């Protein structure tokens, strides 16, 4: 098979080349490199492959820090210089805006960087006893999704949690049954590290003793989950500090439960909120809506300005948490929270909430297309700050805002919430003129 030249990287960090009339997506290859490759999936017009020999190496290539990089599915860009990773993500954002949304920002915002390693405070770890290895593996799944990566450490998890991976495997080996805990959910707060054990069968008294001993030795708190999210409950120790994160710039502390959605990177979350507030520029007396508000991550900083804020969320549990957080921070007087299915929005439903001066929109990967389509002359805010975790749906929604609703895309840029991965977090500002 003839070598190919890598022309660019796709949104998953794979090298893109062309050969024999096909597009070849090559994992582990970088722009400008001359490589051989081995295809593992072949279709009529494209192939997916892994890099073979690197005959001409990119100056942006670095030695991956993790020994299981390329096997573990947790990271896909450790072989690319950290600054270059962000440049790739910026290009992915701009390409999506142009190709899907047919829009260009008037200003490209400078990217926001965070720590490249040891940042991840939320994770869902798989647990599996492997007969052939005669041990339990705890970690992320391999790239193929079938097996758990054999990892003794993780470079993107917080250092303490990363050091516990093999120890948790050893703990599982001591249990009465090795297959009753398939998953551990990690939630790191400022004052406590929580591990939620997904349990398929009742723990024996000896299992419970082992868990308590582990918690005491390693200063973690265990929770258990026996069925759905409603069964998540603290197990030991019961007097541990509550999970929370703080936003010092706004004098806010946010308590949360271990399975409630929070950003995985608290340092970047602070930087993201700071940028969003500067772009939104909330003022006392304004009426502002925070759509997909979650537990109030943006709502409460907006409220701190003195604006009246409506937070809208589709989860009843998160609405309750947001109300509690507003009260906890003394912001109940100028915040209101409402549960609403924002994926089934229309003009009539939106109109019931009245008109707002500004919107903050922070949807999941599916985006906010129905909300954007529902904007009318009566409800159109003067400014929309849109925080996105998926550049493709941001671009799709931007097309509606710009080409149908009459907004200008004033600015857009990336925020490196997930270093070493291909995940693109971004922020965009739309305004009426």
215 and 312, same domain (yes or no): no
The band of 12, judged by pLDDT with boundaries at 50, 70 and 90, is: confident
CA distance linking residue 289 with residue 93, whole number of Å:
25
For strands 425-431 and 408-415, give the pairing: antiparallel
- Report whether pLDDT(269) > 90: yes
- Would residue 68 count as lying in a domain? no
| Number of structural domains in the chain | 3
Q: Which listed residue (268, 389, 400, 424) is catalytic?
A: 389
Polymer length in residues for the chain: 433
Q: Is 203 exposed, middle or buried (0-12, 13-18, 19+ CB in 10 A)?
A: buried
- Rounded to the nearest integer, the mean pLDDT of the chain is 96
Domain termination site, one of 20, 43, 61: 61
Strand order in the sheet with 183-188: 135-139, 122-130, 183-188, 193-198, 221-225, 233-236
Beta bridge partners of 34: 5, 56
Please state, for a pLDDT cut of 70, what percent of the chain lies above it: 100
Q: Which residues are annotated as a binding site?
A: 66, 72, 75, 154, 263, 292, 297, 313, 341, 362
Average pLDDT over residues 120-124: 97
Domain co-membership, 154 together with 290: no
Which span out of 6-10, 38-42, 156-160 was modeled with the highest average pLDDT? 156-160
pLDDT recorded at residue 433: 78
Please, which pLDDT band fits residue 360 given cuts at 50, 70 and 90? very high
Environment class of 61 (CB within 10 Å of its CB; exposed 0-12, middle 13-18, buried 19+): middle
Indicate if 224 and 129 belong to the same structural domain. Answer: yes
Q: Give me the CATH number covering residue 166.
A: 2.40.50.1070
> pLDDT band at residue 144, thresholds of 50, 70 and 90?
confident
At 267 the three-state DSSP class reads helix
357 belongs to a structural domain = yes
Does the active-site annotation cover 293? no
- For residue 387, what are the domain limits? 90-115+265-431
Give residue 143's pLDDT band: very low, low, confident or very high (50, 70, 90).
Answer: confident
- CATH number of the CATH domain containing 360: 3.40.50.150
The answer to whether residue 355 scores a pLDDT higher than 80 is: yes
Q: Which residues are annotated as a binding site for [4Fe-4S] cluster?
A: 66, 72, 75, 154
Q: Are residues 157 and 10 in the same domain?
A: no
- Tell me the pLDDT band of 145, cut-offs 50, 70 and 90: confident
Q: How confident is the model at residue 15 (pLDDT cuts 50, 70, 90)?
A: very high
Residues making up the binding site for S-adenosyl-L-methionine: 263, 292, 297, 313, 341, 362
Q: Residues 31-73: pLDDT tens digits? A: 999 999 999 999 999 999 999 999 999 999 999 999 999 999 9
Residues 210 and 151 occupy one common structural domain: yes
- The answer on pLDDT for 1 being more than 90 is no
137, 169 in Cβ contact below 8 A?
yes
Residue 82 domain-assigned (yes or no): no
Classify burial at 242, counting beta carbons within 10 Å of its beta carbon; exposed 0-12, middle 13-18, buried 19 or more.
middle
Structure tokens at 323: 């109300």
Residues 283 and 413 in one domain: yes
Same domain? 134 vs 105? no
- Give a yes or no: residue 242 inside a domain: no
For β-strands 335-339 and 308-313, DSSP reports them as parallel
The mean pLDDT value for 339-347 works out to 95
pLDDT at 310: 98
Confidence class for position 378, pLDDT limits 50, 70, 90: very high
Q: Which pLDDT score is estimated for 312?
A: 98
Is 166 in the same domain as 274?
Answer: no
Give the whole-angstrom CA distance, residue 222 versus residue 249: 31
Q: What predicted TM-score, i.e. pTM, was given to this entire model?
A: 0.95
What's the pLDDT tens digit per position in 210-238? 999 999 999 999 999 999 989 999 999 99
Is position 132 within any domain? yes
Looking at the structure, tell me whether residues 302 and 350 fall in a common domain.
Answer: yes
Q: What is the CATH number of the domain that holds 23?
A: 2.40.50.140
Cα–Cα distance, 265 to 156 (Å, whole number): 10
Query: Do residues 271 and 230 both lie within one domain?
Result: no
CB-based contact 189:263 (threshold 8 Å): no
Better pLDDT: 20 or 270: 270
Q: What is the pLDDT of residue 283?
A: 97
Residue 173: predicted pLDDT: 96
Position 11 pLDDT exceeds 90: no
Q: Do 300 and 403 reside in the same domain of the chain? A: yes
């Amino acid at each position: 098979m003839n070598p190919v030249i890598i022309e660019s990287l796709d949104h998953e960090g794979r090298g893109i080349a062309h050969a024999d009339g096909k597009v070849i997506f090559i994992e582990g290859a970088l722009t400008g490199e001359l490589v051989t490759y081995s295809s593992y999936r072949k279709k009529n017009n494209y192939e997916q492959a892994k890099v073979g020999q690197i005959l001409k190496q990119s100056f942006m290539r670095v030695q991956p820090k993790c020994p299981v990089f390329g096997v573990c599915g947790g990271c896909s860009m450790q072989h690319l210089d950290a600054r270059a990773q962000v440049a790739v993500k910026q290009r992915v954002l701009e390409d999506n805006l142009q190709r899907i949304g047919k829009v260009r920002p008037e200003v490209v915002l400078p990217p926001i960087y965070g720590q490249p390693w040891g940042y991840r405070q939320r994770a869902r770890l798989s647990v599996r006893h492997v007969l052939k290895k005669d041990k339990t593996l705890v970690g992320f799944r391999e790239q193929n999704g079938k097996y758990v990566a054999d990892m003794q450490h993780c470079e993107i998890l917080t250092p303490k949690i990363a050091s516990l991976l093999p120890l948790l495997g050893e703990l599982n080996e001591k249990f009465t049954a090795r297959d009753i805990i398939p998953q551990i959910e990690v939630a790191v707060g400022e004052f406590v590290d929580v591990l939620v054990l997904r349990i398929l069968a009742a723990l024996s008294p000896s299992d419970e003793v082992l868990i308590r001993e582990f918690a005491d030795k390693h200063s973690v708190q265990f929770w258990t989950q026996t069925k759905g999210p409603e069964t998540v409950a603290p197990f030991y120790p019961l007097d541990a500090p509550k999970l929370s994160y703080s936003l010092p710039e706004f004098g806010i502390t946010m308590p949360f439960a271990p399975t409630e959605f929070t950003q995985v990177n608290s340092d970047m979350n602070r930087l993201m909120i700071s940028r969003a507030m500067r772009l939104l520029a909330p003022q006392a007396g304004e009426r502002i809506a925070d759509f997909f508000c979650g537990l109030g991550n943006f709502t409460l900083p907006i409220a701190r300005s003195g604006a009246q804020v409506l937070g809208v969320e589709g989860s009843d549990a998160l609405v309750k948490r947001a109300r509690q957080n507003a009260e906890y921070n003394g912001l109940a007087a100028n915040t209101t929270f409402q549960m609403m299915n924002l994926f089934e929005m229309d003009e009539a439903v939106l109109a019931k909430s009245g008109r707002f001066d500004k919107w903050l929109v922070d949807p999941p990967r599916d985006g906010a297309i129905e909300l954007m389509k529902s904007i009318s002359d009566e409800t159109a805010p003067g400014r929309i700050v849109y925080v996105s975790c998926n550049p493709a749906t941001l671009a799709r929604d931007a097309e509606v805002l710009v080409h149908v609703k009459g907004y200008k895309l004033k600015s857009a840029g990336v925020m490196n919430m997930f270093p070493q991965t291909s995940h693109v977090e971004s922020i965009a500002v739309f305004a009426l003129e």
